[in-house]
Structure 1
Amino acid sequence: MADNFSQSLTPPVSPFAADSLCELPPSQPPCFCCAESKEEPAGTLPADGYIARGALKRLLLRLDPAPSEYETDIVEIFGFPWVTEMALVESTKLLFGLFRQKIYKLETLVQSSSRDFGQVGSLHYEAEDIKLQCVTFLQYIKVYLHRYLIPSSVLDGGSSHPFEELEVQFPSVLLEELLGVTLLIGRLKDLPANIQSAFTIQNHGKINPPSWHLLHLHLDIHWSILEILHMLGLKMQGQVVYAHQFVNLTGENLTDASLFEEHLCSLLCDLTGLAMGKYSKVRPTEALTIQHYPCSCIKELWILIIHLLENRSKVLHTQSFWSYMNSLLRPLVCGKPAPEQFSGMPTHCKDPLGFTWWLVTHIAILGKYNRSGAIQAERIENWTLIEELLKITCNPKGNLAEEQVRMHVHFCLSVCMLWDPSTVAVSTLWDYYSKNLNGSFTVPWLGVAGLGTLCKSPLALLDQARSCSSPSPLHSPGHTQLYRTANSFHIFLRILALCLSQDRAGGVPQRQIKGRIYSKFSSKKMQEMSEAGLMNFLLLFIVVARQVELEDVAGRACELLGFLPSNCPPGHRTLIWRGQLTLLLLFQVGERA
């Protein structure tokens, strides 16, 4: 009998505990974490982010957010066990109350960390754990909506189970709790300076201050609210979700769609404000190399919003991403007040037009990422806004200096390399340069850089035309440093060459552009041409000749050169011979771009 008993005082392990010991710990949900490895190539997205982990793709395809998680009957949230299939409905307010407590606790850690430098390590791990618990709760909400939420009709007068009543009320209660969270965390622009300064932490190591964790938790919450509201709207299958208690208390309507719209516009406004702060320190020579986001998490957030809004535009027929951005940026360029939904937009911008060019170009570059984080061929274009910006840039009333025009045209070239070139954009630019062909297009503070525009030989002229006909790759130094090495007219020639090269068969756009170029030259205009203007004329026609009908373009150029007076200055006569010899070189080598 005694042999049946062990002398150990440790109680036997229950079957439930034994089973739990065999389970693998749940994987960490995707989150914003811009800790970058030195081995990661530039331009890659964070490995633990929503895109790299496939969360965005699953959201857009309406798949389970975490197919291998939350499969047991019991789930641990905030250190307590809950019934997986019932917790969010039965204890909505309690769970969100615990969620708010965790946010308060993390805020307290931020305050204490500023006074206690001896606890850096322990504060980091405590803050990291709080952030993980909050992100896990947000992930649980998404999983619950996908797996267990079933749209319920209003209960009739008959008896029903209390849980069924809670299920009917749940979408409304969830909406009110999400509103409460947005009011609690506020907007990104309103975060204290000591928290926003965490954006500037470089070389992220294993130990980060609580402010870094709190800042990135705010990003997780902002994005997760959009995710949850999007999923809620889809799961309700067209039923509008009203926040009944909020409506009863305030008399104002609040729906899932209106909260999504309000939160989205506030977030876009704040992200634009962050970019505006960065632009204040950008010099024209660095405009393409300095990004509009302070860390890679903000970059990822932009990409997430782009794809979510484009997906909603196709599926739900709502506004596209660029439609929102156009509504946000147009008043800024025109100096008008921002629309009501974009309230809180910073008003201090040193150069609204230049900032808009800069922001739109860098957002267009982000459009190259697909929903899996890979580079895609398809682009989300917005030529409508670009063409409006070009008209403002080229408006004589604006009286913009070459340093501004050069930067704007450089941005336009970058956009043309990302999207299919626009004939409207080329026409707008040509109208501007045809009136200013005699200009030197120099930037005084750049010194001698880019001043050597008069080629000394036909071969040098041909080489310059070749460089204008074949733009360098988008992210290469040859392109990013173009502001220093080429004037705005030479950058325009690259745009022109790109547009002409898109239509090799001599189609309507190509003929239209060639006709517009021819129409701007007359005998009077040729006789009024300066030496710099004649150089620009020759370079223009050589670039066009390399792209389209060589014989026709060369013949037209020689015909126009014949309008120059016979007693023109020696410099003009030298350029005429140089240009004609360059055209002969094109015929000799049969060169086409």
Structure 2
Amino acid sequence: MDICSAASTFLTDSLELELGTEWCKPPCFSCAFDNRGGGGKHFSGESYLSSGTLKRLLLNLDPLPTNFEEDTVEIFGIQWVTETALVNSSRVLFHLFRQQLYNLETLLQANCDFGKISTLHCKADNIRQQCITFLHYVKVFIFRHLKAQNAENVPVHPYEVLEAQLPSALVDELHGILLYVGHLSELRSINPGAYENQNQIKLFPPSWHLLHLHLDIHWLVLEILQMLGEKLKQVVYGHQFMNLAGDSLTNVSLFEEHCENLLCDLIHLSLNRYDKVRPSEALMSHHCPCPCFKELWVLLIHLLDHRSKWSLSEAFWNWLNKLLKPLFETSSDQRRPSVPIIQPRDPLGFSWWIIAHVASFYQFDRHGAPNETRHMESNWSFVEELLKKSINVQFCTVLIYSKFHQKRMEELTEVGLQNFFNLFLLLAAVADVEDVASHVLDLLNFLKPAFKTSPLIWKGQAAFLLMYTEKNLDIGALAEKFSGDFQEKAKEFLVSKNDEMGQRHTLWTLLSIYIDGVQEVFETSHCLHASHEKLLNDGFSMLLRACQESELRTVLNFLQAVLARIRNMHQQLGRELQKGNVDLNVQSSLLAKERHLAAVAGALWRHFFSFLKSQRMSQTVSLPQLADAAAEKEYMEQLAELTRLLFKLSEVKNIFAKAQVECLPIPEDPKKALVRFLEAVGVTYGSLQQLSDKSAMVTKSLEYLGEILKYIKPYLGKKISSAGLHLTYSVMGILVKSWAQIFATSKAQKLLFRIIDCLLLPHLVLQQEKELPAPMLTAIQKSLPWFLQGMCIVCCQSQNPNAYLNQLLGNVTEQYIGRFLPASPHLLDLGQHPVLLALRNSATGPSMSPLKKCIVQVIRALIKMRLQMVHSDTVTMLSFSLLVKRLATENLQYMVRTCQAGSGDEPAARLTSVFRQFIQDYGMRYDYQIYSILETVATLDQQLVIHLITTLTQSLKDSERKWGLGRNIKQRKAYSQLLSHLGQVGQDEIQRLENDDI
């Protein structure tokens, strides 16, 4: 078989067919193609990409379907038996292979002048084609003739012994070849130059053929190892070699070692080119000496990414990053590649250069065609490391500063200003925040006040304030400017007329931004400094006098939040000061903090409490708001005193006595005292025996509560205090649980219904598109177990069985069982779910049965709905997956063959019954898919499908009757196609269908 002819490359497909040659030339690396005319051709027609070899490898198909089909094959000029040559003579064949390599190397010593180039070209090309043909034969032999050996079967025949040893022998021989050829980077000259004769035919020197044969060997060894692993589905151990760690050589370790060496060689060759490239030409100069190296990069990308999806091997970027990191990382613990790479003059520049060029290879698909929409695997983690090492923060800061000046600031639009703040906030997070904030303030002075941009400017300043607070820096400079702007706007707000609603709305937008920002600063500050006092200036005094009711509520909520923060800090500071043996430096620091707290409290007193005092007899501000705002320590003491006086009443003492609960003489905590009283009322009612006493107790209990919902509704609005919400929900939850027997009476049930509707099932909960405020959700989560336990007791002990009670319990369970699911599906996290806590913390087992039923019903409904949603999406998604189709077909084949083996010559009755039921269940819905499945079954067991003809025909007719449109031509055509595979029986059924009237 003469492969030498240079003119053979110019034969067209039609000429080859006329010659009657079925043999297809095996693919190989070649840059002997003309791309001067354009047309988008990137690789030779003989390449592994263009010929479809890579695609067949990844899909595990026959590598060369039309080659090596004869009984004998000519390899190295000798005729061999195709099916046994590699088993009987593997060592001889690989020895001949190495001999041919040596022959090609000796041609390098010949004088390559123009007179001898034609002869040298033919000899070198002949040797190369023989070597390539042998390696392709190894691939074909593995795919067609190699059998996976069963460990239990001991080979008896000498050929079986050799066949069992072949995989290990292949691993050893491939390793030997790699040791013989060495590294690509060790080749003396990599110059893909060519000569052209008078017929414009390119003639290449032996060095060109040797280089490309080395490329072929390196790639085909990877192909053979990949096919060996896919064929045997197990690790193959070599017998002659060990790796550097002293472990036995395997097909997996050889593949990984060879991949690493090959990538090191490609990096080494790229380094040689990079050192000769000018920096200005880096992006235009490619790192590949010829298109064959480019093709090798693309092949490695596809192969390694493919292996990473189906095994534990690493993806291409991981391989490359692992080899590039040692170039610019000097740490001693960094793992060095087995092949040392020369150190470049500019490691970071080279890394950027090769990453940029290699990333462009992801555009080529399995056929080597460019496809810009093809998915590219992310390599951001490595690029991020390069960015960190390449960019200096100080340099970036100065560069960004230089881009902004007065003219640029005046040209900024609303979106531009937002991007300006995003940029400088990001810069402040990584650079010196004080320097960045100072520069931002200077730039903002260039802006002219505008209606659209003012809110953005105020939000930006608030963001920098928070950043200072997070880093525990002094906010003095920012606070002085920001609070000064606030004071000016508050003065404008005070003097504005009520009829100027547009101006008031604009001003209030800015003022509310300041209020929210300052509140967050106080809530997130670890400790207060003297500069915090600057945020509370005379602007609040003017603002309070100008506010209407809704605006005033916002300001008073701000006051409550700041007071609560100061109170907590003061309590914590007091505990630290009471500790003994405090160091003098620590004590002076604590005293300084106490002075700062006093200064902030003094500012609040000056700017807020004079107004509150003046409004105590006014109707402008509601009494609850004033009470909340004035709830400082003296008012808490007054509440505690009031509670103490109430507990001295004989009626209260009588309730505690009947409940056998100790009445605290001096209750210090009003909340604990209230909870204790509510529990005592519940216990007292449960101990009563006479119906009249119980009825009187219910009436008295309702009098205790009064219009309770009227008092708690103000705490459920949009501007809500988390502390007030938590107190409201916890007290009401304990009330529902403790008074469950009272609420079981018909007289008190109406109040229970209103409590549940108001607190647990408000309109906001029922609107699925809206989220509950975070403070409300937290309060409900902590108190929900008490509510559920109380509702369960009411359901079990209700005097009049009420379906609405069970409906309420079901609605509450349904609304909150999904809202409080943990982020992770860990059982320990799930145990803290409030609905489950209600079951776990309940002392009364039987009374919780209604809740258990509700939980089961809700979970069953959720699972049913989830399955319905997932089913259609999953079926649609999987139907387009080639892997799913292949696996489904294989499973179907195994199932039919297994049933055939168990039933002898007769069709398997069990399998026939399953298919019949399958047709009856899904025939109306998936008719075309069923016919396609049964066509596959018919190729395996024709009689099985013949037994299903009656069921299939009946399903077809039922479908046509259901739609009422006569014959379904498309469906009948698909059914007839299935029947055509069933011989005469199928033809008879087709004739009956044509003659049948519907």
Task: Tell me if structure 2 keeps the 8 A contact 1:113–1:209.
Answer: no
Equivalent-residue separation in structure 2 for 1:163 and 1:395 (angstroms): 68
Contact 2:193 2:204 (8 Å CA) reproduced: no
After the TM superposition, which of the residue ranges 119-128 and 513-522 deviates more from structure 2? 513-522
Deviation of the 1:367 alpha carbon: 1.1
* Alignment-derived partner of residue 524 in structure 1: 438
- Structure 1 or 2, whichever has the larger Rg, is 2
Is residue 396 of structure 2 the alignment partner of residue 433 of structure 1?
A: yes
**In 2, Cα distance between equivalents of 1:176 and 1:61:** 26
The alignment yields a C-alpha RMSD, in angstroms, of 4.0
Q: Residue 292 of structure 1: SS of its match in structure 2?
A: coil
Is residue 406–residue 443 contact of structure 2 (8 Å, CA) maintained in 1? no
Aligned-partner Cα distance in 2 for 1:339–1:523: 39
Deviation of 1:242 after TM superposition, in Å, equals 1.1
Counterparts of 1:124 and 1:387, CA distance in 2: 48
**Who is 2:339 aligned against?**
344
Cα 1:554/1:305, change in 2 over 3 Å: farther
1:389 aligns with 2:361: no
Q: CA deviation at 1:97?
A: 1.1
Equivalent in the alignment of 2:172:
176
What amino acid is the match of 2:87?
V
CA contact (8 A) 2:143 2:227 kept: yes
Aligned pairs for 1:55-134 (under 5 A) are 55-114=53-112, 117-134=114-131
Preserved contact between residue 438 and residue 529 of structure 1 (Cα < 8 Å): no
Distance in structure 2 (CA, Å) of the matches to 1:123 and 1:237: 44
Q: State the secondary structure of the residue aligned to 1:68.
A: coil
Match of 2:284 among 270, 289, 292: 289
Aligned-residue identity in percent: 41
Residue 49 of structure 2 corresponds to: 51
Counterpart in the other structure of 1:377: 374
Q: Which runs of 5+ in 2 are unaligned?
A: 1-17, 462-477, 482-998
Match of 1:165 among 157, 161, 166: 161
Whole-angstrom distance in 2 between the partners of 1:126 and 1:345: 35
In the alignment, the residues of structure 2 paired with residue 136 and residue 455 of structure 1 have an alpha-carbon distance, to the nearest angstrom, of 72
Show the counterpart of 1:31.
28
Mapped contact 1:338–1:345 kept (Cα < 8 A): no
CA contact (8 A) 1:77 1:133 kept: yes
- From the superposition, tell whether residues 254 and 511 of structure 1 become closer, same or farther in structure 2 (CA, over 3 Å): farther
**Deviation per CA, 1:219-260, whole angstroms, max 9, x where unpaired?**
00000111111111111112x211113369x97411111111
Secondary structure of 1:243's partner?
Answer: strand
Q: C-alpha deviations, 1:308-331, integer Å up to 9, x for none?
A: 000110111211111111111112
| Structure 2 contact 305–316 (Cα < 8 Å) conserved | yes
Q: Which letter maps to 1:61?
A: L
Q: 1:144 to 1:340 in 2, by over 3 A?
A: farther
- Which of 155, 158, 182 in structure 2 is aligned with 1:186? 182
| C-alpha separation in 2, matches of 1:337 and 1:181 | 33
Aligned CA distance change for structure 1 residues 117 and 454 (closer, same or farther; 3 Å): farther
Cα 1:154–1:457 change in 2 (3 A) is closer
Give the Cα–Cα distance (whole angstroms) in 2 for the partners of residues 175 and 254 of structure 1: 8
Question: Alignment partner of 1:290: what SS?
Answer: coil
Match of 1:359 in 2: 354
Residue 226 (structure 2) pairs with residue 230 (structure 1): yes
Matched, 1:145 2:59: no
Measured in 1, the distance between the counterparts of 2:211 and 2:24 equals 22
Report whether the alignment pairs 1:301 with 2:296. yes
Task: Find 1:314's aligned residue among 309, 312, 316.
Answer: 309
**Separation in structure 2 between the aligned mates of residue 364 and residue 181 of structure 1, nearest angstrom:** 31
Contact persistence 1:199–1:212 (CA under 8 A)? yes
Work out the number of aligned pairs and report it. 431
CA distance in 1, matches of 2:128, 2:406: 62
Whole-angstrom distance in 2 between the partners of 1:369 and 1:236: 30
| Structure 2 residue aligned with 1:216 | 212
Mean CA deviation greater in 199-208 or 310-319: 199-208
Note closer, same or farther for the CA distance 1:328–1:357 as it changes in structure 2 (3 Å cut): same
Q: What CA distance in whole angstroms lies between the structure 2 residues aligned with 1:285 and 1:554? A: 45
Q: 1:474 matched to which residue of 2? A: none
Does the C-alpha gap of structure 1 residues 184 and 33 become closer, same or farther in structure 2, counting only changes over 3 Å?
same
SS for the counterpart of 1:254 is: strand
Opposite residue 135 of structure 1, the aligned amino acid is: I
* Preserved CA contact (<8 Å) 2:83 2:141: yes
Distance change (3 Å), C-alpha of 1:257 and 1:209:
same
Aligned runs of 1:444-455 on 2, under 5 Å?
none
Q: 1:283: how far off?
A: 2.3
**CA deviation digits over 1:428-459, x for unaligned, max 9?**
xxxx634532448xxxxxxxxxxxx9999999
Normalized per residue, the structure richer in helix is 2
- Per-residue CA distance 1:374-421 (angstroms, 9 max, x = gap): 31421111000001111111235xx9xxxxxxxxxxxxxxxxxxxxxx
Q: Distance in 2 between matches of 1:274 and 1:87?
A: 38
TM-score, normalization by structure 2: 0.39
* Structure 1 unaligned spans of 5+: 1-20, 400-431, 441-452, 470-492, 501-509, 538-549, 566-593
For 1:392 and 1:364, the matched residues in 2 are separated by 20
1:97–1:341 Cα change, 3 Å? farther
Give the distance between the partners of 2:421 and 2:60, measured in 1 at CA: 47
Q: 2:105 touches 2:210 (CA, 8 Å); kept in 1? A: yes
Letter in structure 2 aligned against 1:139: H
1:372 deviates by 1.9
Question: SS state of the match for residue 74, structure 2?
Answer: strand
2:194/2:205 contact within 8 Å kept: no
Q: Residue type of the partner of 1:31?
A: C
Amino acid at match of 2:144: R
Q: Counterpart amino acid of 2:263?
A: L
Q: Which has the higher contact order (CA 8 A, sep 6+)?
A: 1
